[in-house]
Structure 1
Amino acid sequence: MDTLKETFKALSIARRLQPSEPTYLLDLSLSTSGGSAAGSDVLAVCCSNHSVHLHSRETLRLLSEFQGHTAPVCGVRFSHLSPHLLFTGSADGTLLCWDVRRSCSESDSAQVFRSDSTHSYCSFDVSCNDRVLCAGTEQVGEDSFLVFWDARMVQEGDEMGSKQGGLLGVYSESHSDDITAVHFHPQRADRLASGATDGLVNIFDLSLGGEDDALFTTCNCNSSASSLCWTGKDLDQLLCLTHDEGLHLWDVAHPDSDDTLTLLSFTDARTLVQLPDGASLEYFVGGTWLPNEGRILLVGGSNCGELHLVDCSGGGLRLIKSLKGGHSATVRCFQWDVNRQSLLTGGEDGQLLQWKVGAEEISVGKKDTLKSISSMQLKTKAHRKHAPRKDYSSKLL
């Protein structure tokens, strides 16, 4: 804990990239593949104008922009094995795979993954071996779908020359509302967790075949799932944050055990974080597992742009550090860059910030700070709706 405190308490702004136009930064991704390839030195950000930006990981300088989606982008993920491949998902019913070495003028060469024309994706992820893609759909009639593709199966696509990915099939019985979170296990390619606005968080072992056999654990978060994160020394715990700021931590190593799966469960975890001067934590951005420290790091904030780093361990939440003077509006995404020991954040003010230990700020791009772009009328957090509370006990294993 001392090392964790020392690292994060010394964070300050190293670089600030000002937006050239009013747009929200919704999600960001860092390449996790090793080596010194050029692609490992970039980060990707998806924006509220449906575009995806590629930035220098060190300087934050804008390198290129990809425009292939026609509806909101629900996420961005780098390939686990290749620093040159980037996946994006969108409500337009497509997942796209980009080669980041290509210029933006070659964006129509992206590989395309589609399913039924009625499907609108609101979450997706890539397995740790890059073989399987999974996307969660918004509710279609009375059904919601987990859609699977084999990323290695490629065939010629439409008249634009895009290549189509190989559709494997769908799961249709496990959720009854928008599937807002999909997260593959970091080390087990067949292990998948999904969460939805129906209040259920499901864990699948895809190696077992069909949906009924693959679903081996269901947990109830009693709300709309916002984000999922695999945690724990052996990555056998699952952290779930909800859209109404609930927090749940489950031990899913032995789902058939008589012991309870629940390690932590808070309906409103904001009340557990004590901020200086009587201030209140207003929302959680998300959580991440720090393997070197053996801790869960939560990032929360206020709508005026302050960030609060919180340690989640020992049955409670403890404030590590409040970061001020950075953002001027709600923060929507973050990543901890282990290699560079830096925190990257993006938000509704359009700014991309890099925080480092003992840094002095260097501005990149436009100098005028944008305040919250209220005219865009975007929700503070996506999928704020909540399904009526139902009795899901019959669906639990």
Structure 2
Amino acid sequence: MMDTLEDTFRTLSITRRLQPSEATYILELSCPSSGSDVLAVCCSNHSVHLHSRETLRLVGDFHGHTAPVCGVRFSHLSPHLLFSGSADGTLRCWDVRRPGSVATQVFRSDLTHSYLSFDVSCSDRVLCAGTEQVGEDSFLVFWDTRMVRDGGEMGGLLGVYSESHSDDITTVKFHPRQADRLASGATDGLVNVFDLSLGGEDDALVTTCNCNSSASSLCWTGKDLDQLLCLTHDEGLHLWDVARPDSDDTLTLLSSADARALVQLPDGASLEYFVGGTWLSDEERILLVGGTNHGELHLLDCCGRGLRFIKSLKGGHSATVRCFQWDAISQSLLTGGEDGQLLQWKAGAEEISVGKKDSLKSISSMQLKTKAHRKQAIQKDRSKLA
């Protein structure tokens, strides 16, 4: 199976390209695991767009957020429900069968909270969002999704964790199979693992790993999903074994302050950034995607021994790629980025044009957060965190 997938990756080419109709970046995308023919993307104009999973055509959108959207996640149990989070201090749930409708649920906490990250537990029962730093504190906020109905707000709030991070919480990731297991990362250089079933924050915090930088993304990996992959805003990479988090023997499997140096690209090309990583469960391997600022992509295999080049994807994007997802159902790679394009890559494909190519005169001057987090410039000479 591994060889088959690698063959697929090595023959990927563009099958569909959706040109933007307005000057917006694509920040993140999400596909449901089954049962729905739409995919969702969040855009730099604070909207959420729905596209046909097969053709990429725009089939609807949702408006309601009034500040940058930090992500989109499909429900694990209902393919028709989509969650989004925003710096406007809300998480919202949408019914993708009703494009253009208002959110079916709105989740809020304190008025001072601005969300930078969020995730949904595998049981769909718990939502968690990470906030920007508020004064001296940063918060992990929890809601019970069953307690908010008919657009009601402030319902379902379970509480907050406030002691585990001291700076902006940039990524939160529930375990794919264990509903009570949660990992969080922040610009304070810490990656924490919680077991929510253990109660209060002090008891629930079972492991702390140090990435010595600002964490940008987390991914549960490994055959038993007991490893954590962490990427940082300055292109560091860390892979930890957290199988026994309470035993003080968390193992560092791979660690590099600048993992771009681990990659040998053909023709002397150099990797400029990482888009992200994902665990391919059927093949039991980590797919890492990196890129160059003019849009070229590189597929990499990541393991404890390091990084191995698989394939370069050229002729697609013309600017930094912000997100990707491997759609196992359609055996296609989906990518989106700062050129506003949404691309679908398949093995041995020939491109089918979707929409006309528009002039994006304003896109280069858009006032947006860059890929690097605004607090990325962490003092390199600070004392090492415990």
TM-score when normalising by structure 2: 0.96
Aligned match of 1:270: 260
Aligned match of 2:274: 284
Aligned match of 1:232: 222
Separation (CA, whole Å) in 1 of partners of 2:9 and 2:362: 26
Match of 1:207, SS? helix
Would you say the 8 A contact 2:104–2:150 is kept in 1? no
State how many pairs are aligned. 383
Separation (CA, whole Å) in 1 of partners of 2:41 and 2:330: 18
Separation (CA, whole Å) in 2 of partners of 1:266 and 1:82: 38
**More deviation, 275-284/128-137:** 275-284
1:211 pairs with 201, 204, 219, which one? 201
1:127 pairs with 87, 111, 121, which one? 121
Give the AA of the match of 1:377: Q
Q: Does 1:188 align with 2:184?
A: no
Pairwise CA RMSD: 1.6
Would you say the 8 A contact 2:14–2:344 is kept in 1? yes
> Which consecutive unaligned segments of at least 5 residues does structure 2 have?
none
Match of 1:367, SS? coil
Match of 1:152, SS? helix
Q: Relative to 1, partners in 2 of residues 1:187 and 1:313: Cα closer, same or farther, differing over 3 Å? A: same
Aligned match of 1:87: 83
Please show how residues 110-121 of structure 1 align to structure 2 within 5 Å. 110-121=104-115
Would you say the 8 A contact 1:328–1:371 is kept in 2? no
Give the AA of the match of 2:170: T
> Which consecutive unaligned segments of at least 5 residues does structure 1 have?
none
Match of 1:2, SS? helix
Separation (CA, whole Å) in 2 of partners of 1:225 and 1:15: 32
Match of 2:159, SS? strand
Q: Does 1:7 align with 2:14?
A: no
Separation (CA, whole Å) in 1 of partners of 2:185 and 2:206: 14
1:255 pairs with 245, 250, 270, which one? 245
1:388 pairs with 376, 379, 382, which one? 379
Aligned match of 2:57: 61
Deviations 1:184-231, CA, capped at 9 Å, x for gaps: 000000000000000000000000000000000000000000000000
Give, in angstroms, the shift of residue 246 of structure 1.
Answer: 0.2
Separation (CA, whole Å) in 1 of partners of 2:379 and 2:17: 42
**More deviation, 362-371/229-238:** 362-371
Q: Does 1:315 align with 2:310?
A: no
Would you say the 8 A contact 2:228–2:242 is kept in 1? yes
Separation (CA, whole Å) in 1 of partners of 2:293 and 2:360: 14
Q: Does 1:46 align with 2:42?
A: yes
Q: Relative to 1, partners in 2 of residues 1:174 and 1:133: Cα closer, same or farther, differing over 3 Å? A: same
Match of 2:148, SS? strand
Give, in angstroms, the shift of residue 103 of structure 1.
Answer: 3.1
Separation (CA, whole Å) in 2 of partners of 1:64 and 1:182: 28
Separation (CA, whole Å) in 2 of partners of 1:168 and 1:2: 46
Give the AA of the match of 1:138: E
Aligned match of 2:99: 103
Give, in angstroms, the shift of residue 4 of structure 1.
Answer: 3.3
Would you say the 8 A contact 1:205–1:216 is kept in 2? yes
Separation (CA, whole Å) in 1 of partners of 2:150 and 2:49: 26
Deviations 1:247-302, CA, capped at 9 Å, x for gaps: 00000001244645210000000011111221110000000001121110000000
Give the AA of the match of 2:55: T
Would you say the 8 A contact 2:108–2:153 is kept in 1? no
Give, in angstroms, the shift of residue 388 of structure 1.
Answer: 3.2
Match of 1:204, SS? strand
Give, in angstroms, the shift of residue 309 of structure 1.
Answer: 0.2
1:358 pairs with 348, 359, 372, which one? 348
Q: Does 1:344 align with 2:334?
A: yes
Would you say the 8 A contact 1:22–1:350 is kept in 2? yes
Deviations 1:320-366, CA, capped at 9 Å, x for gaps: 00000000000000000001100000000000000000100011112
